[in-house]
Structure 1
Amino acid sequence: MRTRLLVILGCAGLVAHAGDNSLRQRIEYVTTPGVSQVSIYLQEPVRFTSGTLTNSDRVYVDIQHVSGDLALKGPGITGNDALIRQIRTSRRDADTMRVVMDLKAPAIYSVVTLQTPPSLIIVLRPAHPPAPELLAQQVRVDNPGFPIASLAAPAAPAIPAAPAVVRTAPAATAAVTTRRIAIPRVTHAPKLEDFLDGRQGEGSRISDFRQREPADGKPVTQPTSAYVSYDDDNVYVVFVCKDEPGKVRARMAKREDIGDDDTVSVYLDSFHDHQHAYYFTSNALGIQGDGIITEGAKNDDLFDTLWYSEGRLTPDGYVVWMAIPFKSLRFAGGEAQTWGLALGRSIARNSESAFWPQITHRQNNFVPQMAALDGLDQIAHGHNIQLIPYGAFTNAKLLDPSVPRYQTQNDARVGLDSKVVLHNSLSLDVTLNPDFSQVESDDPQVTVNQRYEALFPEKRPFFIENAGYFQTPLDLFYSRRIVDPEFGARLTGKIGRWAIGLLGIDDRAPGQQVDPGNSLFGDHAVIGAARIQREFGQDSHIGILMTSRDFGASYNRMVSIDTRLRLSPTWYFTGQLARSFDRSYDQNFKLIDAQGPASFAEIKRSGRSFTYSADYQDLSQDFRAPLGYIKRVDLRQVSQYVGYYFHPEGSKLLDFGPSLSFGADWDHQGRLQDRYSDAEFAMDFTGPVGFKLTRYDAYEFYLNQGFRYHNSGASFYANWIKWLNFNGSFQAGSGLNYTPANGLAPFVGSSQNASFGLTYRPTPRLRLDETYYFTRLGTRSGFLPSGGTPTVFTDHFTRTKLNYQFTRALSLRAIIDYYGLLPNPGLFNSGRYKTLTGDILLTYMLNPGTALYIGYNNQHDNYALDPEIPPMLRRYGDPSYLTGSQIFVKLSYLLRF
């Protein structure tokens, strides 16, 4: 969300003398997530100086040769973001006016001078470096920049259960048919041993698995059978997979960490609505992964539930046994049930995924192609209650560099997460004093010199189940905006063809971000969200989303309607209309009303070879979505994507082809803000191995100036060796300096970005990951500046991560991170940061609700005593100064009734 406060001098508290010929009667204050901007518009160019006061908690700008008096009436301009507490002015002398920004947190700043119109622009960003922080400080929120090109480091492969539409190899001529199957009720639960040595246990046998990748429709390359049955409590699936034992990829790993292994999967559309499906995945040793598929949305691989699996390697392949409790699923009422069912197998070395029934890329969906599962009778349970009490203890030692001295913080917290399942289809979740700390650290991202903040996904259990119910094409509900709740309740589920989601929760964070003397200090924000969705036709729906946020006398209301229409097996239309109603405090804590519309429309075609999409967004200047993930407003944006991939038959080359995406956006005055084009050519081979060539060109309007930049690059990934996988990327071209040194305007320089990742598994239980990111921005020949070093900044990030899996439940993980930002202070406004962090975590996890964590982490920075101003610290040398350490223990236990 982007907010703008205009302070009219003389009309809103600033008084200028009639003889003042330099000020233009206006200061503009703009906030976006992670950036605050104060603009002072002038009649003519002026000279200025700037600096910090009181250990960097105030930033000042002295504007010289300003005649007349200038003063603020009242307390000044009150900030409404995480950086600025207050903006005020004062007269230094008869010729100089001072503008002071009191800060809530340390910040780096730059002052940019513009000639047209004459103005000074002060840009502030958080001062802490974008390196991994201590556990207690790891709640971060992110927005993807448009149209900034991201560093093209290939991500680790996802669990093969994900049914996203991707490129495939040649199709077979076999027709696609929808299948039905009835499974038997068994009196004794099947065991893995019943299926060893070629024996066939109980259950309906399925063996006609067909490839989706690489050869759409052809039989699976290795013989595969599955046996499906159920009893009063569970659905049972046993996979018997033939293969050469030495070629099967199976490691003793943490839960969910099986993306590089051979796996088998079960998909259950428990409402048979062709919209949603659970998936349960296991490798050959029984290590689990699970999630939820929602048609038209991203897979929710953060969903976790309780189920059981065992796996065993055999002389001719492997066998996997699964038991999925009905209590872990939501389904419709009635004694006789019809569900959707699909079974899958992936063979990593062949880049192969196969399914029963055949699920083809010729259709732009997954769940509607699943078979109908009959025979489930009398599976409803009278009660289903789950309680997860927890206790957490933290002891932290943190350095306050402004004093400097260490502060010790001890925190003990207990709480409860509870779930009551109503009629097997509705889930009521209640949380009391929840622990929303993040035990696992976020994956590293490059965040230096970015215009917008980075995105980190939701990982908190209370928000995860049925999170897709609150998703819409415009992301109007982003749960990480709720920072520190004390109490919350959520009801989600389905009744017939209706899906519902209701949420009520508070947030203590807003009341902690205002001054202690403010009447709102200590108050809680009250937050609500409601979602109703009706399914109709084949794979289509229409829905309404409403959100509400109240804090003091301010509020925000959001109403939205959206739809997804299936036009054909390959074409879909998605649309949304929204309107916000907002009452917010302005700079003088007066309430200002605003309301504005937003809209989105997309048409998309996905197929085996040809993919095309086109979308349009329109967000008015007065649109407000404080609970959403909206990067900016006052925007009209169009974008398109087209790609075509060829699939040679009988070749190790799976597919190859070009793709092109391009787009542009304007503000509502018709001024071009951004324009970009991104061309790619990719090739994928068995192994898996692949590479990609890219060319990116962009225009960006930033701080009232237009900039053009470009880059060309290449990336690759390789995993043909069973115990080794690596990837890398390199981009070179030009890039924009968003954080120039004081007195400089943003400028385009030469840029280089590189990344490299390696995963080494010397034994099935030990995993070593190495990650490296490199970013450099330099000046261009004959441009800016003349003389001196051509480097604007160099940024390094390395991570070494070691994990040893003693058993399926017990693991030990250690991480060492190094971050170094080496700026040229004459060109880039940032300190010289070097940070070294260590993190060790012992985990004992019986299931997603029952776990014990014991961890320790610390951080060292490049601080040293300043010999000129003792005992102050300054950034100097290597990261040898301890700035924080922490030990923590967390225990939770799942109780099920």
Structure 2
Amino acid sequence: MSKKSYCFLCALLFVTALSFGQKKTLETLYTEEKITIDGKFEEEAWKNAAVATDFIMINPDNGKPIAQEKKTEVKVLYNNEGIYIAASLFDNEPNRILKELTSRDNFGIADHFGVFINGYNDGQQEFRFFVSAAGVQQDGIYTEANGEDFSWDAIWNSHVELTDFGWTVEMKIPYAALRFPSAKEQTWGLNFYREIRRDRQQYSWNFLDNKIVNESTQAGILKGIEDVKTPTRLFLIPYASQYVYASKAQKNNGEFKGGLDVKYGINDAFTLDAILIPDFGQTKFDNVELNLSAFEQQFSENRPFFTEGTDLFNKGGLLYTRRIGETPSITTSGNEEVVEQPGNIKLINALKISGRTKGGLGIGVLNAVSEKTSVEIKNTDTGFTHSEIISPLTNYNVLVLDQRFNKNSSVSFVNTNVTRNGEFRDANVSAMVFDLNTTKNTYNANGSFKYSYINEFGNTEDKKGFTSELYFAKTKGKYRFGLGGEYYSREYDINDLGINFQTHYHTVYGNASYRILNPTKTFNTFQTNLNFYSEFENRTGRIQSGQLNLSVNSNDTKNDYYGGGFNIRPLPVYDFYEPRSLNEVRFVTLPESLNIWVYYSSNYNRKFALDFNPSYNFINEKGRVTYGFILSPRYRFDDHFSLIYNFNFLRQNKNTGWVDFDPDGNTIFARRDRITYTNTLQGKYSLNNKMNLSLAVRHYWSYVINHDFLTLQDDGSLVNNTTYSENKNYNLNLWNLDLSYSWWFAPGSQVSVLYRNNASLFSQNFSRQFERNFKDAIDNQNLNHVFSISVRYFIDYNTIKNANLSKTFTKPNERMHF
């Protein structure tokens, strides 16, 4: 290379690096011309719009400019209804563009274009809108703390056209789908995204440096929006559902439900969401398991109202929305039984208000009310029944105040409150939470202080507790590390509206990691993580958890994923929860252990792909091991049809756990074998980007065989118990099948048809043959059947208003022109 060429190359690299460090700016234009969302850009206004181009790779080769034959050009216009985006995505091999049809919010195997908008330009939260080359929409909210949350859904329009040069996207995003301050001149954070799926390459308009964790601080700038006169943001979504139930005990019993969702823009920044007479009958089934632990099983939230746009309410981790309308827990004596077990506590209504002021103060209010619920309990000896309240009229409240500053930091106050009518307990929890980052996002400090207060009716002593946490980390570059600790008092309890399992302990934990930032000859990505965690019981100072974890995760140049690692517990630890002792300090000693795992996940771009994840846990006790694997093949027949099968096997030999208390008050453990099989099948057939057929099947079988009974000693050891003889073997079969059809027949409007059957079989005397258990699970004598049809219709108040104006001012045979 000549000296002149070398100098030119250095200058080019310098200019490129300098441009990466600066935010790109796009100036938009106002238009009064009607824009048709057809992907053709034939309106005159598009010809004068500025062009955003020169995209830069995010992954795998971070910082590499997009190839000329795959250039991307984006334009933006606006009017008083919303903003319009036109994207031309060039591809020199248009016949290779991937375009799998999927349900909404499912990316699938397809190319994508996206726009990221932050109306406050504060680097904290982005509204993200994507559309695939098959025309399927995805939308979500991005925050650095939670990543991308696709449970949030907005109403917006898009259209895709496949062309001889690649493909085009046209979008209209109404202001109702965004949040921004009420200012004469708007300055928004803006970024555009492109994914070329066949190459597993991702690009952005403004450079996203993967050395920096927070993506929203790296957005470009959108200018030019002025004097926006936004329409009234009032949307009504009435719905009606018809259910038909059938089972051995219940023949063709029908139920009709109807209700209304309301979304109202209080102003440009704040929105009210409310549901009247909620209907969650078509939500996804829970993956229930045989739970032998000292703690309840935690379930995912599947109800849309409690998943959409709730990132603000999740600050501090105080909210577990499954508490609202949860399945009641009913305690009876040995000679009592519940006449009819209710499935859940019914909600009367729920609402949430959320938004952010121009000064960066986020305000969130969530309220829900559940109805009084009683059950009839029968004495099996006398036949006498009596009514018992299992849940009074209950009011749930959440308040969040979240102040953002410096475009990457925040301080928050969170309060949750549960008030129960009558002589039932009330609860209140408050928290201060902070998340601080340096200007260049190199270092992070975060922490919290949380205080809980429980008022047990009739008790003279109230229950008060607290917890505090502090964590410091380096969050930028190839090498990153973190160190933190937390303290939990004994009385800390957030379980009325949150969920926490353990209390009365303190921890110290840390991590260190290394990653490559650009591909090598072997790897597109490579990362290794080292973590340690230690936990000590406050009263005794004994260690109740201590482990060291090393993991490696990689993605090769063929886009296959490999990884593995180990988790070691080098010292015995003491479990204070498994003995189930409430009034005294009891613990059981857990021996040293070593858990090893590996995984392989082939490139999902291929029609056939496979995930495989075996693990083996060595425990320092004769004959005590745990091993298992997950095997999941998937096949994509074409862009419409695909199937995913998952088989999960887990065997625990000589597992040790609590089973009972004997009449003398001794704590009884058992040495047992446990085997669990979980089979799931997921299938989808997409007729087009608006109609989808989905299948979800799950068969779960887990059984426990006790070999020896043991008595817990005061020093945490276990000795053989030869007198205890109760049958504590368990066998649980669970079957769930959902077959559903969904049709988005208009923006925000949907018809859903669902057939569901399920069964739950629990026994203590059973066969260990898989075929027998599977047959019993799907036996029609045990199955419950549900068939339902639900219609939701989206109504925009402005559409009604404009229609009324047109009728008022338009003469017969004459149309007005605006």
| C-alpha distance in structure 1 between counterparts of 2:735 and 2:301, whole Å | 26
Q: Distance in 2 between matches of 1:258 and 1:556?
A: 41
2:88 pairs with 1:240: yes
CA shift, 1:595, in A, is: 0.5
Distance 1:316 1:541, change over 3 A: same
Could you list the per-position Cα deviations for residues 390-438 of structure 1 after superposition, in whole angstroms to 9, with x for gaps in the alignment? Answer: 1222222345xxxxx4576543221111111012111122221111334
Q: 1:862 touches 1:875 (CA, 8 Å); kept in 2?
A: no
* Distance (whole Å) between structure 2 residues aligned to residue 354 and residue 825 of structure 1: 56
The Cα of 1:684 is off from its aligned counterpart by: 1.2
In the alignment, structure 1 residue 485 sits paired with structure 2 residue 347: yes
Which residue type is aligned with residue 213 of structure 1?
A: N
Aligned to 1:775: 650
Matched, 1:857 2:719: no
Letter in 2 for 1:771: N
Is there any run of 5+ residues in structure 2 with no aligned partner, and where?
Answer: 1-15, 326-345, 379-384, 580-586, 656-670, 709-726, 767-771, 798-818
Whichever residue aligns with residue 598 of structure 2, its letter is A
What is the deviation of 1:261? 2.3
Report how far residue 608 of structure 1 moved: 3.9
In 1, are the aligned partners of 2:349 and 2:368 still within 8 Å (CA)? Answer: yes
Please state if 1:613 is matched with 2:513: no
Query: Is residue 2:54 matched to residue 1:203?
Result: no
Deviation digits for residues 596-643 of structure 1 (CA, Å, limit 9, x no counterpart): 111121122223422222222212111121211323221212221211
Structure with the larger helix share: 2
SS in 1 for 2:347: coil
Match of 2:695 among 814, 818, 824: 814
C-alpha offsets along residues 464-516 of structure 1, whole Å, 9 cap, x if unaligned? 443111222x4112222111320223221112221111122212377669999
Residue among 625, 628, 642 paired with 1:753: 628
Q: Describe the SS at the equivalent of 1:573.
A: strand
Paired residue secondary structure (1:368): helix
Residue of structure 2 in register with 1:214 after alignment: 60
Matches within 5 A, 1:284-683: 284-398=133-247, 405-406=249-250, 409-441=253-285, 452-472=295-315, 474-483=316-325, 484-496=346-358, 497-508=360-371, 520=389, 523-551=392-420, 552-553=422-423, 554-567=425-438, 568-584=440-456, 590=459, 592-625=461-494, 626-647=496-517, 649=519, 651-669=521-539, 670-683=541-554
Asked if structure 1 preserves the Cα contact closer than 8 Å seen for 2:39 and 2:86, the reply is no
Q: Which is worse superposed, 281-290 or 294-303?
A: 294-303
| In structure 2, distance between residues paired with 1:561 and 1:548 | 15
Q: Contact 1:863–1:881 (CA<8 Å) still a contact in 2? A: no
1:896 to 1:773, Cα distance in 2 relative to 1, 3 A: same
Contact 1:351 1:687 in 2 (8 A): no
8 Å contact from structure 1 (residues 305, 848) kept in 2: no
Distance 2:100 2:430 in 1: 48
Aligned residue for 1:879?
777
After superposition, give the CA deviation of every residue in 1:26-50 in whole Å (9 maximum; x if it has no partner): xxxxxxxxxxxxxxxxxxxxxxxxx
Q: Relative to 1, partners in 2 of residues 1:836 and 1:454: Cα closer, same or farther, differing over 3 Å? A: closer
Retained in 1: the 8 A contact 2:37–2:158?
no
TM-score by length of 1: 0.72
Residue aligned with 2:317, SS: coil
1:731 to 596, 602, 615: 615
User: 1:456: how far off?
Assistant: 3.6
Q: State the distance in 2 between where 1:830 and 1:570 align.
A: 54
The answer (yes or no) to whether the contact 2:37–2:157 under 8 Å persists in 1 is no
Asked whether the 8 Å contact 2:680–2:699 carries over to 1, the reply is yes
Give me the whole-angstrom Cα distance separating, in 2, the residues matched to 1:492 and 1:647: 37
SS class of match (1:425) = coil
Question: Is the CA contact 1:813–1:842 (under 8 Å) kept in the aligned structure 2?
Answer: yes
Q: Structure 1 residue 880: deviation in Å?
A: 4.6
* Residue 189, structure 1, aligned to residue 65, structure 2: no
Q: SS state of the match for residue 224, structure 2?
A: strand
Matched, 1:715 2:599: yes
The whole-number CA distance in structure 2 between the counterparts of 1:570 and 1:339 is 24
Asked if the contact 2:650–2:676 (Cα under 8 Å) also holds between the matched residues in 1, the reply is: yes
Is the alpha carbon distance of 1:465 and 1:879 closer, same or farther for their aligned partners in structure 2, counting shifts above 3 Å? closer
Structure 1 residues 510 and 556: CA distance shift in structure 2, 3 A: farther
Q: Which amino acid aligns with 1:628?
A: G
Change (3 A) 1:209 1:652: farther
Give the conservation status (yes or no) of the 8 Å contact 1:234–1:323: yes
**Which residue identity is paired with 2:202?**
S
Bigger shift: residues 510-519 or 645-654: 510-519
For 1:371, the aligned partner's letter is G
Aligned partners of 2:733 and 2:761 also within 8 Å: yes
- Give me the whole-angstrom Cα distance separating, in 2, the residues matched to 1:491 and 1:391: 25
SS in 1 for 2:65: coil
Q: Which runs of 5+ in 1 are unaligned?
A: 1-171, 400-404, 737-745, 781-789, 868-873
> Judging changes above 3 Å, is the alpha-carbon distance between structure 1 residues 343 and 652 closer, same or farther for their aligned structure 2 residues?
farther
Deviation for aligned residue 1:450: 5.4
Q: In structure 1, what is the Cα distance between the partners aligned to 2:454 and 2:606?
A: 56
Higher-RCO chain (CA-CA 8 Å, sequence separation at least 6): 1
Query: Aligned pair in 2 of structure 1 residues 338, 657: CA closer, same or farther (>3 Å)?
Result: closer
Provide the C-alpha distance between the structure 1 equivalents of 2:312 and 2:133, rounded to a whole number of angstroms. Answer: 33
Tell me how far apart the structure 2 counterparts of residues 184 and 629 of structure 1 sit (CA, whole Å).
49
Task: Determine the C-alpha separation between the residues in 2 that align with 1:876 and 1:247.
Answer: 43
Aligned to 1:272: 121
Are the aligned partners of 1:861 and 1:880 in contact in 2 as well (CA < 8 Å)?
A: no
Contact 2:728-2:764 within 8 A present in 1 as well: no
Task: Check 1:852–1:623 CA distance in 2 against 1; reply closer, same or farther (3 A cut).
Answer: same
Alignment identity in percent? Answer: 19
| 2:303 counterpart letter in structure 1 | R
CA distance in 1: counterparts of 2:387 and 2:619, whole angstroms: 43
Q: For the structure 1 residues 310 and 714, does the alpha-carbon distance in structure 2 shift closer, same or farther, using more than 3 Å as the test?
A: same
| TM-score of the two chains, using structure 2 as the length reference | 0.78
Matched residue, 1:42: none
Match of 1:839 among 715, 738, 747: 738
Give, as a single letter, the amino acid of the residue that structure 2 aligns with 1:230. Y
In structure 2, C-alpha distance between the alignment counterparts of 1:272 and 1:732, rounded to whole Å: 48
Distance (Å, rounded) in 2 between the aligned partners of 1:747 and 1:650: 45
Aligned residue pair count = 691
